[in-house]
A and B are shown apart, each in its own frame.
Chain A
Amino acid sequence: MNIHTTPQRTPAETALIDAFSDRLSLLPGDGTVMLKRDDAIEAIKSGLPTRRIESWHYTDLRRLLASVPDFDPAAAAKAIAPIVEGSAVLPVLNGVSSTKLPTVDGVAVQRLSEKLTDGSAAPGLDPYGTDDAIGALNTAFVADGYFVDISDGTELDKPIELQNLQAGGQTHVRLGVRVGAGAKAVIVERQAGEGAALVSSVSQLLLGEGADVTWLIVQEQPDTATHLAQFKAHLGKNAKLTLFVMNAGGKLVRQEIVVKTTGEGADFTLRGINLLAGDTHTDVTMVLDHAVPHTASTEVIRNVVTGKARGIFQGRINVHQYAQKTNAKMACNTLLLSDDGEFSTKPELEIFADDVVCGHGATVTEIDHSHLFYLMARGIDEKTARGLLVKAFVAEVIEELDDEAIVEALEARLDGWFVAHG
């Protein structure tokens, strides 16, 4: 009888473990960092998550990640124009940060490779929870990225755009941002490229008291890439975070969002758009902890599904015992444009406080025929009219952002997707 039924490693697991031995000498890090890398690769050795792990139920990574590409030192990604003109661009090209960086008053930028080498990045490398596969993958291999510090009271009038661009191979990047008390900023996280890459990207945001941040994740990987991403934020007292996530590409995508309100009066808004086409898999998983009283959050996710695309939104809201007067609302609406596509929504509310207002709703609809008729009755041909209505469905979420430059920039990305997939 077989007592130890450790399943056989998949080709992807084997490739990752071998790659770690190969790369070890090249990876920056002091003793502490290297120990965390060891822990991380041990987690991978025990197997990638399968559907049996609750938070990975809809995305069986072990099965879906059929293979991983080798690291490709020759891959040459190029920086791209920022979505909002005049933004300060911090590019990471093929996993490597730049030495030539724009200077912005009140903003200090450090290359993450330096912070790994001197060990100051070590505390951020700890996994969250027990099934943090993306965190483990990233901690094992991360070599670079940025750490951005926006000093107290700084109000930026132009966005900072963090670009993570790949041209194949593997890239593992970390982007850390601290926003000081009372500071105000728009941060764009661009995830794109042209290769069949394996990308892991972890963003960490710390919001000081009364800080006000709009963070836009614009993910437009090619439909050959695997994109495993994590966004983690801590919101201090009276801090306000609006997170906008747009997934408009990638073959296998998992975007995790882990947000904790740690100060009273904190306010979190999530707006998400998933534009899903072809034979792709996109999973947005959010875990939101209301840890203190008097915090609010709303989440609105809009999905457009065509082709054989599959999408998932898991939204878990934990309202801790002392987090009275929490106000949390979640909605996930899907426009299903093909019979072969699908979208699964899993809202989860864990409420341990008694004086809270929490709600969620999910809908799956098709195009409204009376709306289509109205537009066509004005001479707009069926294809164009459908395009207008689909765009309208998601544009509503964008328009809420209420900043003309950002709205225009995101609508331009939207138009780009519709031209390619309309």
Chain B
Amino acid sequence: MLEIKNLHARIVDDGTEIIRGLNLTVKAGEVAAIMGPNGSGKSTLSYILAGREDYEVTEGDILYNGQSILEMDPAERATSGIFLAFQYPMEIPGVATMEFLKVAMNEQRKARGEEPLKIPEFLKRVKDAAASLNMDMAMLKRPLNVGFSGGEKKRAEILQMKLLEPNLCVLDETDSGLDIDALKIVSDGVNALRSPDRAIVIITHYQRLLQHIEPDTVHVLYRGQVIKSGDKSLALDLEANGYAGVIGQAA
């Protein structure tokens, strides 16, 4: 489903290369975990997948369902089924959350050639999704993410993911900031989305999340490259021994 080939990317503003020859393949139905030290380029990779303009791809390609997405803008990528749950979701004052959800859901439907949702059906879907994530509807009456606590923002990201039903889900440190109960609830939410035609990429620092959402593959990102890939035992190994060994092997 996702094939990243020898990807090089830099920051547009100052030309610093962050992603330096990265290769990664994630198949449909697969849950892939990406781990790696702070500053290794995990969030940058997720932004590049989503099409953020602050980064520029200088070499290599990203194929999604066999097609390059490099020429697509963020909205086109999203309507083609790519979803990024942000590490730091933005607060957008003045944009009503419900209005935003309605527009976003209907854009997805438009891309699939479906009619816009009727209001009662829309409300029902939002209510059901919010209930499953233990979210208070009152929160959704506020402007988008404004004043949400760290954990509430993460839940709101997963709520959006549930409602937009993407095919490729990228979760950037969704677990950080969540309390123990919320971690379970959010993990259940993600697990419910597991399906043979959906791929999930989980960026995390902690084995704890991977106990709830069991990955099929684990990849270590370091200095803009995937330096080691393995199965879920690799995450356990990292948890026990840290990154030093893996980095040493690669060097």
Contact = CB atoms under 8 A, between A and B. Distances in A.
Given A370-B90, A389-B95, A391-B94, A379 B53 contact: no
Given A384-B103, A393-B94, A378 B164 contact: yes
A380 B94 contact: no
Nearest to B101: A378
Interface stretch (B72-80, B117-125, B214-222): B72-80
Contacts, number: 76
Contact of B75 (A376, A393, A394, A399): A376
B154 to A, nearest CB: 15
B90 A380 contact: no
A385 interface: yes
Contact of B92 (A374, A376, A384, A394): A374
Nearest to A397: B94
Sorting the interface of chain A by its residue count into under 10, 10 to 19, 20 to 34 or 35 or more gives 20 to 34
Contact of A379 (B75, B86, B89): B75
Residue from the set A369, A370, A388, A396 with the largest chain B CB neighbour count within 10 Å:
A388
Contact of B94 (A369, A374, A396): A396
Residue from the set B51, B53, B78, B108 with the largest chain A CB neighbour count within 10 Å:
B78
A399 B94 CA distance: 8
Residue from the set A373, A379, A385 with the largest chain B CB neighbour count within 10 Å:
A379
A409 interface: no
Nearest to A385: B75
A371 interface: yes
A377 interface: yes
A375 B50 contact: no
A389 B83 CA distance: 21
Interface in B61-115: 73-75, 77-79, 83-84, 86, 89-90, 92-95, 99-100, 103-104, 107-108, 111
Contacts of B94: 389, 391-396, 399
B95 A376 contact: no
B90 A371 contact: yes
Contact of B104 (A379, A391, A396): A379
A392 B90 CA distance: 14
Contacts of A378: 78, 100, 104, 107, 160, 164
Nearest to B90: A374
Residue from the set A378, A380, A395 with the largest chain B CB neighbour count within 10 Å:
A378
A350 interface: no
A392 B95 contact: yes
Contacts of A370: 90
20 contacts: A369-B53, A373-B53, A374-B90, A375-B92, A375-B95, A376-B51, A377-B75, A377-B84, A378-B160, A379-B79, A379-B108, A379-B164, A380-B104, A388-B99, A388-B103, A392-B92, A392-B93, A392-B143, A393-B94, A396-B143
